[in-house]
Structure 1
Amino acid sequence: MTLQPSRLVSINRDAPPEGAEAFCLRRDGRNIRFMLAPGGEKPRGTVLISPGRCEFIEKYFEVAREIQSRGFAVFITDHYGQGLSDRPLKDRFKGHIDSFDTYAADFEAMISAVWDRLPGPHALLGHSMGGMVAVKMLARGRIPVRACALSAPMLGINGLAPGASIAATAAVLLGLAARYVPGRDTDVKAPTYHGNMLTHDQARFDRMVRYYEADRALMLGAPTFGWVAAAARAIDETRRPGFAESIQIPMLIASAADDSLVSTRAQERFAAHSLSAQLVDMPHARHEILMEKDEIRQRFWAAFDALLTRAKL
């Protein structure tokens, strides 16, 4: 494994966090991009961020600056197949993965490679798919963090009936893993605010679109059969007896009340089985809580600060 300098995409009115640096980790023949940002002269620790599907480092600049304002250093990654990390297929816009274990192993390898630059203690912040990756890492016991905050974690997917996951698995076995799932728009273009399922905040939505316009390479399209099958396997794993109970560090699960993408019921079920998770409802929030209107985000940050207090960070 080797480290190489990388780059950050820039747009007007959205500065990177102070002192931010981008790198790529060369691992198993793949380049995985990540960003480090310091926490000041005497940092309280480091927050490790695991973004959701279709997301990229630059989308979290505002979040990173807010974490820095709390005295923490920041680590953010582009998961394999997303952002400016390498993509697994010739068509870079297909959302594909073989297993969510790949995401988890990559994340663990990256923080191991720069551990001396991540002052402790450490907390983990995961959104949606990144929240699923976070709980997998915690259950594996290979990531030494003291607290974990999950924003609308993908512990279940709305509309993913058992039949759909079985069909996706069958397609993988038939050699169709790299094909788009049917019924999804395969024309990769910048999204529009009207009718979006992510946020009520148009300014933050438009900021995301400006990044796509600045560098089309950041974009990602519909998922493949392989991605859906991998997601279904990961969801099944979190529902096994003892999985939630195995994670004993203080945990926050922020559940978006107006989420049409992931299952809030699955989040409630996970929290009910957990020995340490606190479920906090986010009224009027769509899926991307951290990209929502200020009043919703303030509720999240208040819960996040309470988590840090509970974890003595």
Structure 2
Amino acid sequence: MFYSSERELKGNQSAINDFYQNTLVKAYLNTPNGQLFYAHAQPDKAHVAIVISSGRIEGLDKYKELLWELYTNNFAVFIVDHQGQGRSYRYLKNKHKGYVNNFGDYSADLNLFNTQIVDTVWQGKKLLVSHSMGGAIAFDYLANYEHSFSGAFLSAPMFDIHTKGIPKPLARIIASNAVRLGFQFSYALGQTDYTPEEFPLNVLTSCELRYNRFRQTYNEEPLLQLGGVTYGWLNSTFTFLSSIDELDVDIPLYIASAKNDVVVDNEAHYRLANKYANITLESFADAKHELFFECDEVRQPVLKSLYKFCESVTA
């Protein structure tokens, strides 16, 4: 397998940009509420398709390196920007506000993307790969819609979140009451428009190169920027997370858990893995939240686990 490395990333940037500009097919998918931006590409010797459900504040533009790397390894690749972020439609006048009417709207979009785009272009075996919020969306989708995925690889899935010093039961009550009082479109306490943190302060990755490239991309394309969450998003998310133990997914799942994660609560990974026999969990030492954007010492073992899992479920 080919692995994109930090040492060679600068030199490979022209190939990555060429892949993005000339190989990826990019378009918009119409939905009842707005357009979803998506892209896909299929190498000649593709044997499996990987469909990516990205995390909050993420989308195609952030995943260029990974998509190029997967394509180079002869995987067909598909990705859609979730509603409210990336190049897809956003509900509110202030485009920085993270909002969703109902958390299930995300998985309804993913189902639409899978049925109208992925299954139209690709008829072979498929693996669903996700990160963070995208993992919660993937789990919801797999539990509620008919599909033909052979398995799902969940990077640091958002099965519970850290509430930054506020007890979780209190945070849920605050979000619920704020929505009941009509503040669903207001930023939750402490949330603001997009404000990039300097690398030493970031909690996402230990890789300065990949972190700075992510921030540079968003600085060059302001429409990609997304700020904090609203009470509406928070309440919808808490409602979904409270029901996650009731969902049943019957295909093989692989949870890649970041040992030093302070964004999602890893305890939920272990709780779910202990409940289902079809879940494999691996914890990656010295890893922050964004496993696909970590330093090579973390990222490559994560991708090795992804490829091994993919082979095991699609052979």
- 1:103 aligned onto 2:106: yes
Matching residue of 1:83: 86
Q: Tell me the amino acid that sits aligned with residue 55 of structure 1.
A: E
Matching residue of 2:200: 194
2:257 counterpart (240, 255, 267): 255
In 1, Cα distance between the equivalents of 2:147 and 2:116? 13
Question: Do 1:248 and 1:275's aligned partners in 2 also have CA atoms closer than 8 Å?
Answer: no
1:53 counterpart (41, 53, 56): 56
Structure 1 SS opposite 2:200: coil
- 1:144 aligned onto 2:151: no
Q: Deviations over 1:190-228 (max 9, x none)?
A: 332121000000000011111112110100001000000
Matching residue of 1:302: 304
Structure 1 SS opposite 2:199: coil
Give how far 1:42 is off: 3.0
- 1:131 aligned onto 2:131: no
Q: TM-score, normalised by structure 1?
A: 0.91
Give how far 1:187 is off: 4.0
Cα 1:214/1:257, change in 2 over 3 Å: same
Q: Deviations over 1:126-173 (max 9, x none)?
A: 100000000001111323200100000000001260111121111112
Give how far 1:183 is off: 2.0
In 2, Cα distance between the equivalents of 1:41 and 1:55? 28
Structure 2 SS opposite 1:92: coil
In 2, Cα distance between the equivalents of 1:191 and 1:89? 24
Give 1 or 2: higher helix fraction: 2
Matching residue of 2:289: 287
Q: TM-score, normalised by structure 2?
A: 0.90
1:171 counterpart (160, 172, 178): 178
- 1:211 aligned onto 2:207: no
Give how far 1:285 is off: 0.4
Matching residue of 2:237: 231
In 1, Cα distance between the equivalents of 2:63 and 2:212? 14
Q: Deviations over 1:36-73 (max 9, x none)?
A: 111x2231121110000011211111111222133211
Unaligned 5+ runs, structure 1: 1-11
In 2, Cα distance between the equivalents of 1:280 and 1:171? 37
Please tell me the root mean square deviation across aligned C-alpha atoms, in Å.
1.4
Structure 2 SS opposite 1:66: helix
Q: Tell me the amino acid that sits aligned with residue 77 of structure 1.
A: V
Unaligned 5+ runs, structure 2: 1-12
In 1, Cα distance between the equivalents of 2:123 and 2:213? 30
Q: Deviations over 1:65-115 (max 9, x none)?
A: 222133211111110000111111010000011111111111111121122
**What stretches of structure 1 move > 3 A for 4+ residues in a row?**
none
Q: Tell me the amino acid that sits aligned with residue 288 of structure 1.
A: E
Give how far 1:257 is off: 0.3
Q: Tell me the amino acid that sits aligned with residue 308 of structure 1.
A: C
Question: Do 1:46 and 1:119's aligned partners in 2 also have CA atoms closer than 8 Å?
Answer: no
Give how far 1:264 is off: 0.6
- 1:161 aligned onto 2:161: no
Structure 1 SS opposite 2:190: coil
Question: Do 1:44 and 1:71's aligned partners in 2 also have CA atoms closer than 8 Å?
Answer: yes
Give how far 1:294 is off: 0.6
Cα 1:119/1:210, change in 2 over 3 Å: farther
Q: How much identity, in percent, do the aligned residues show?
A: 31
Matches within 5 A, 1:24-43: 24-38=28-42, 40-43=43-46
Structure 2 SS opposite 1:311: helix
Question: Do 1:250 and 1:307's aligned partners in 2 also have CA atoms closer than 8 Å?
Answer: no
Matching residue of 1:6: none
